[in-house]
Amino acid sequence: MSLDIPNLKDGGTIKDFDKRLRDEANEDLADIIHGTPTSKTQIIAIYGKGGIGKSFTLANLSHMMAEQGKRVLLIGCDPKSDTTSLLFGGKACPTIIETSSKKKLAGEEVKIGDVCFKRGGVFAMELGGPEVGRGCGGRGIIHGFELLEKLGFHDWDFDYVLLDFLGDVVCGGFGLPIARDMAQKVILVASNDLQSLYVANNVCSAVEYFRKLGGNVGVAGLVINKDDGTGEAAAFAEAVKIPVLASIPQDDDLRKKSANYQIVGTSASKWGSLFAQLGDAVGIAPPVRPAPLDQDGLLNLFDASETGADYVLVPATDLDMRGKNAAPKESLEVVYEDV
C-alpha cells in the first residue's frame, strides 16, 4: 500500500516517489547467475543484527571503494545514527531528521551541507530517528527519504549508494528497500552465532516474500564478520544459496582499531587487501533469490548441545494450567438415568 501524502516539493506524492525509486531499480536481475547490474548507480541495502559490526564493515568498505576510484554515498538508516561515526573518527554528524526539524522551526530549508559530509572521497549522511518512545523509527526512514528527494537524490552522480539498515527491526520503514524496489540488491552481515543468522534468514525471507509479489530485489551475498572459523555462517550461506563475499576475522587488532574509530579499509593498512577484495565482490555480485530456512533448518546449522535443538516439545495439560486449582470439583452437569 502506498501513502499518498502530498508533501513533496514538486507537488507529487510518496506514490510518485515510490515510482521514481522503482524506475531506478526496475530491471529484474534477481534470477541472473552471472553478470553485473546494468544500472549506472548501484543502490545496495546492507542488513544485519544490531551490534554485529555492520557500521564497521560499511565504513571501511565505503572508504576502500572510494580509494578504488568509485563515487560512494553512504546513508545511515539506523536510528542509533552510528553508521558514520567510525568514518568520521567518532564524531556524530547532524541527522537529516533532526536537522529538518530544527530548520522547519526556524523557517529555513535544509541544504546539502547541513546533512552531508565527506572524508577520503566518501560522502555520508545519517537519516536518524525519533527519541525512544516518541515516534516510529520506520516512519522516520520514510520521512528521511522524502527529504532526500527534495535535496535532489535522483540527480546525484554516484557509482554506489550504500544504505545501512538495522536487520532485527521488522516494521515497514526498515523493509523499504526490499518492499519498494529501492535497491537492486541486498548484502547481509552476520557472524557465527545463532541470533545474527536468525536476522539474516529473516531478511532472506522478506526478499523472497516480495519477490513472490513481483519485486526485483535479490541477495548479493553474505559478509561474515568476527569470523572465528567455526563455520556456521558459511554453512548458512550455502544452505540459503547465497555466496560469501568476504570473511573478516575475529582479530584483536581489528577490535582495537574499531573501538578507536580508526579506518582500516585503506591501502595503507594491513587489512586493505581484504576490503579491496570485498569492494570488488560487492560491485560484481549479482542479486539472487535466496532459499530461507525454517527454524529447525537454522538450528541444525549448530551443534544441538549448544542450541537445545534436540529438545522434544512436551504438550501441557489442563491440569498443568490449573496448578493449585487442579483439585477435582463436583460437576454441575445433570445426569439422566436410563429408563
Rounded CA-CA distance 182/19 in Å is 9
Spell out the domains of the chain, with CATH numbers in brackets: 14-314 (3.40.50.300)
Q: ∠ CA 293-198-143 to the nearest 5 degrees?
A: 110
Q: What is the pTM of this model?
A: 0.78
Each residue's pLDDT expressed in tens, for the chain with a length of 339 residues = 333 434 444 445 555 655 544 554 444 444 433 344 445 889 999 999 888 888 899 999 999 999 999 999 999 887 666 778 888 988 888 888 888 889 888 888 889 999 999 999 999 998 876 555 555 656 667 777 888 888 888 889 999 999 988 776 656 667 777 877 888 999 999 999 999 999 999 999 999 998 888 888 999 999 999 999 999 999 999 999 999 999 999 999 999 999 999 999 999 999 999 999 999 999 999 999 999 999 889 988 987 776 676 778 889 988 888 888 877 666 667 767 765
Q: What residues are annotated to the active site?
A: 49, 54, 80, 168
Where are the strands (E) in the chain, listed by range?
A: 42-48, 72-76, 117-119, 122-126, 160-166, 185-190, 218-227, 244-249
Q: What is the DSSP string of 188-200?
A: EEE-SSHHHHHHH
Rounded CA-CA distance 234/293 in Å is 14
